[in-house]
Amino acid sequence: MPGFEIFGDQEKKEVMDVLDTGVLFRYGFDNARKGHWKAKTLEQKLCEKTNAKYAHLCSSGTAALSIALAACGIGAGDEVIVPPLTFVATFEAVINIGAIPVFSEIDETLCLDPDKLINVVTSKTKAVIPVHMCGAMAHIDKIKDFCSKKGLILIEDACQAVGGTFKGKSLGTFGDIGCFSFDAVKTITCGEGGAIITDSRELYEKADQYADHGHDHVGGADRGADDHPILGMNYRISELNAAVGVAQINKLDKIIKIQKKNKQAIKHEIAKFSDISFRKIPDENGDTSTFLSFFLENEERARNVAEKFAENGVTGAPYWFDNKWHYFKQWHHLKQLNAASKLPLELFKNTPDYNTVFLPQSDEIMKKTISIQIMLSWKDNEIKDRINRIKKVLKG
């Protein structure tokens, strides 16, 4: 799955370009940088890849979500609908901006269930953030329709799904803004990095300003000449990180091709077991194939298989239901609103107490779900060995 598996000469060359100039900052130093603009280059490449009009690179996927929320004007007391299966960053970004995460059910896509969104909409709902989980898409067309009908902002958390598409259109381009992560374990990596993409000039400008202390970036090489139309933060990426990403994005198609092949080899064998069904993927062609996720008959069987996978060396096979970082059930810090800073608790007082939030449909699905992470570096004999181990466990 991660781009770090195929680091090579291209990454070294791009990084050396930066080190040779000594310019690690993405803005200014026009002469010293000898024509190397790695962050800008990666933004252009992202636009080409996704067909988005604008891209802004930033320091992480979490930063991308925070920037997206800010650019869309979401803040104090607004409610934002999010799924209970994601990485904690999705709701952290919402809280960070002063808004309230509201959890809605997932369906067998392992992403937000479009038909259940209506149950959690209130007069304070401002946005929906579907997460294209484990490399594949939500029912993004239906979620988009819902947001359009209800006048809600749509921000796609495509942090785990760079390069993914739905009916040929890039994930991240369905909503007002799409967010990507290029952290160390993502499909392509900058070490740390992220990006927002959008077709809106206005949102892009807000994002570009917010991510750099409000700089309007019209002063050219003289940053001091920039004005600051809005309050911002520092979510900038360094040229060194961006340089790694420039090399990696050139490999994205190859990475996805390998993932698809490796995933299909395992899926083909698992499909022979009659008590197993697969995660629903609304458009298989657009799956980036970072994970193979499947459902067992019930919780007991799924727990047993997960345990046996661990005992039999089937590594990278999470049982998400018990996972501390990716499923609502274990987010005790959120349930207790344990923040380092003082949260504006009065804003939370009219929203559901997270201790009492009940997501029966999501629980039922997650109890039965196991995912297998797909690696790029597996050789044919390693895939065969893995298949044998998986089959041994499934046979019981």
Ligand X SMILES: Cc1ncc(COP(=O)(O)O)c(C=O)c1O
Annotated catalytic residues are 186
Q: Cβ neighbours of residue 181 under 8 Å, at least 6 residues apart?
A: 60, 61, 62, 64, 89, 159, 160, 162, 193, 194
How many residues are present in the chain? 396
| Rounded CA separation 1/171 (Å) | 18
Cα distance between residue 242 and residue 36, in whole Å: 11
Give, for 207, the enclosing helix (H) or strand (E). helix 201-210
Q: Which of 160, 165, 248, 259 binds ligand X (CB under 6 A)?
A: 160
CB of 94 to ligand X, least distance (A): 11
Coil, strand, or helix at residue 100?
Answer: strand
Give the x-and-dash track for 168-207 against ligand X (CB under 6 A): -------------x-x----------x-------------
Q: Which is nearer to ligand X, 186 or 368 (CB)?
A: 186
Work out the angle between the directed axes of helices 380-395 and 252-270 (0-180°, nearest 10): 30
211-270 residues near ligand X, rule: CB under 6 A: none
Count of residues that bind ligand X according to CB under 6 A: 14
The yes or no reply on residue 86 touching ligand X (CB under 6 A) is yes
Q: How far is the CB of 268 from ligand X (least distance, A)?
A: 27
Residue with tokens 């062609």: 285
Smaller CB separation from ligand X, 61 or 318? 61
Q: Is 163 helix (H, G, I), strand (E, B) or coil?
A: coil
Contacts of ligand X in 58-77 (CB under 6 A): 60-62
- AA identity, residue 158: A
Query: What is the DSSP code (8-state) at residue 59?
Result: S
Residue list 94-133, contact with ligand X (CB under 6 A): 131
Q: Would you say 185 or 339 has its CB closer to ligand X? A: 185
Residue nearest to ligand X (CB): 61
Interface map 306-335 toward ligand X (x if CB under 6 A): ------------------------------
Which of the ranges 6-14, 84-92, 246-254, 365-373 carries the binding residues for ligand X, by CB under 6 A? 84-92
159 binds ligand X (CB under 6 A): yes
Footprint of ligand X (CB under 6 A): 60-62, 86-87, 89-90, 131, 157, 159-160, 181, 183, 194
